Amino acid sequence: MARWTAETLAYKLSSKPRRTASGFMTVCPAHKDKGPSLSLSDTRNGRVLFNCMANCAPMDVIASLMNLGIDLRTDEEKARKKSNFKAEAVADKPAQPKRKMIIKGADEKEESPWVYAPHRASEREPKEREFWAPKDHTVTDLKWIWHSKDGLPVFRTYRTESAGGKDVLPLIPCEHKDTKKLIWKVQAPPTPRILYDLHLDPENVPVLVVEGEKTVDAAKKIFGTQLWATTSQGGGKAAHLADWSPLKGRKVIIADDLDGPGIAYASIVHEQAKIHGALSVHLWNFPAGQIPENGRLVQRLTETKKGYDLDDARQEGWTLGLIAVSANPYPGAAVVSI
């Protein structure tokens, strides 16, 4: 049989997988996946790397794939395992009857010795060997620490870049149940996942939801304490896995990235805000048709770039004062309910 690739595996598991910068997002076979949460990417040595953003254990995914008749081992690995088995056989040992191979289901899995240990996140930073990323990706200096409500660090995210685009890797601290050894694993934190900058929420101002940690940082520089800016871990593919309860009784403004995925993310956040009892939910279309020039706003003569967000606005020189006099200011009547 031909070797599996990220693309062939993605289409095997879903009729409509989603292409990403590093490969594909498809349905995870190890849990009841409501949306694509299994990331797939190819390596230079012909392997398929996968990671379930809903926190399924790798062995559960492998077992589920094998139940579907999908074996990701290379021909060389299969042959090597068979050869090693023969080499270890004892010559005078009577032949044993063949045993039928049984793949355990997710509910029969062996418990991992590594457990999420958020209380140890401040002990040390991840080491280079603890990072996982496709070989053509590089880990940048952009990193973010996620804090609990009481201000304790609980996990981190790191941005990677490649010729195909960018991605953000979550790293969680894990402790061995027996040895108490601490390691960092490239794995999404357990659900429901906390919101970014939860410890900075003053609870008495409107909430501004954007997509991505970098955009939150830009929003804080623009709005200061006028709003509490936040986001969820994992972007649009995992927004439904976040704990949106801090939005209860709050006025929520969603500033989406100006592209299709941005609108999709805004739609999920809107739904979650309503479910968790937000006082009101608004979609704010940033006035990207204008651009700052010498302290005033002029008409943008070029097309706004795809995916334009508040970080792009900050780099162009937008300030809270300029936003207040723009064609679509916040706050103002142009902020419309969705």
Ordered per-residue pLDDT tens for the chain, 338 residues: 457 888 888 888 888 888 876 788 888 888 877 778 888 888 877 788 888 877 777 878 888 888 888 887 766 666 665 555 444 444 444 555 544 434 344 344 457 789 999 999 999 988 877 776 656 667 788 899 999 999 999 999 998 887 767 788 899 999 999 999 999 998 899 999 999 999 999 999 999 999 999 999 999 999 998 899 999 999 888 899 999 999 999 999 999 899 888 889 999 999 999 999 999 999 888 899 999 999 899 999 999 999 999 999 999 999 999 998 888 876 544 444 44
Q: Are residues 307 and 243 in the same domain?
A: yes
Strands 207-209 and 153-162: unpaired
Instruction: Look at residue 106 and tell me if it is in a domain.
Output: no
Q: Are residues 227 and 329 in the same domain?
A: yes
Using an 8 Å Cβ cutoff, are 126 and 134 in contact?
Answer: no
Query: Looking at residue 53, what is its pLDDT?
Result: 75
How far apart are the C-alpha atoms of 50 and 62, rounded to whole Å?
10
Instruction: Please name which of 187, 156, 234 lies closest in space to residue 57, comparing C-alpha atoms.
Output: 187
What token pair was written down for 208?
């501004």
Q: pTM for this one? A: 0.66
Q: Are residues 22 and 72 in the same domain?
A: yes
Instruction: Look at residue 324 and tell me if it is in a domain.
Output: yes
How far apart are the C-alpha atoms of 239 and 29, rounded to whole Å?
20
Instruction: Look at residue 137 and tell me if it is in a domain.
Output: yes
Burial of 135-172, coded b for 16+ CB within 10 Å and e otherwise, reads eebebeeebbebbeeeeebbbbbbbbbbeeeebbbbbb
Provide the 3-class DSSP secondary structure of residue 283.
strand
Q: Say if residue 50 is exposed, middle or buried (CB neighbours under 10 Å; 0-12, 13-18, 19+).
A: buried
Using an 8 Å Cβ cutoff, are 106 and 79 in contact?
Answer: no
Q: Are residues 174 and 300 in the same domain?
A: no
Q: Are residues 302 and 251 in the same domain?
A: yes
Which domain CATH number covers 331?
3.40.1360.10
How far apart are the C-alpha atoms of 114 and 174, rounded to whole Å?
6
Question: In 10 A of CB 267, how many CB atoms?
Answer: 16
Question: In 10 A of CB 37, how many CB atoms?
Answer: 24
Collect all residues with Cβ–Cβ distance below 8 Å to 179 and sequence separation of at least 6: none
Q: Are residues 40 and 165 in the same domain?
A: no
Q: Say if residue 182 is exposed, middle or buried (CB neighbours under 10 Å; 0-12, 13-18, 19+).
A: middle
**What is the count of structural domains for the chain?**
3
Query: Looking at residue 140, what is its pLDDT?
Result: 81
Query: Looking at residue 71, what is its pLDDT?
Result: 83
Query: Looking at residue 237, what is its pLDDT?
Result: 80
Instruction: Look at residue 86 and tell me if it is in a domain.
Output: no
Domain end among 76, 99, 130: 76
Instruction: Look at residue 13 and tell me if it is in a domain.
Output: yes
Q: Are residues 276 and 322 in the same domain?
A: yes
Domain end among 131, 166, 186: 186
Q: Are residues 148 and 45 in the same domain?
A: no
Find tokens 């496709």 and name the residue.
Answer: 134
Domain that holds residue 212: 198-337
Domain end among 186, 213, 238: 186
Question: In 10 A of CB 94, how many CB atoms?
Answer: 5
Task: For residue range 25-57, list pLDDT tens digits in order.
Answer: 888 888 877 778 888 888 877 788 888 877 777
Instruction: Look at residue 84 and tell me if it is in a domain.
Output: no
Q: Are residues 176 and 203 in the same domain?
A: no
Q: Are residues 175 and 223 in the same domain?
A: no
C-alpha count within 13 angstroms, C-beta hemisphere, residue 30: 24
Instruction: Look at residue 191 and tell me if it is in a domain.
Output: no
Using an 8 Å Cβ cutoff, are 246 and 195 in contact?
Answer: yes
* Contacts by residues 215-222 (CB-CB < 8 Å, ≥ 24 positions apart): 215/257, 215/309, 215/310, 215/311, 217/311, 218/309, 218/310, 218/311, 218/313, 218/314, 218/315, 219/255, 219/310, 221/314, 222/310, 222/313, 222/314, 222/318, 222/319, 222/320, 222/323
Q: Are residues 158 and 205 in the same domain?
A: no
How far apart are the C-alpha atoms of 71 and 87, rounded to whole Å?
23
Q: Are residues 202 and 182 in the same domain?
A: no
Instruction: Look at residue 35 and tell me if it is in a domain.
Output: yes
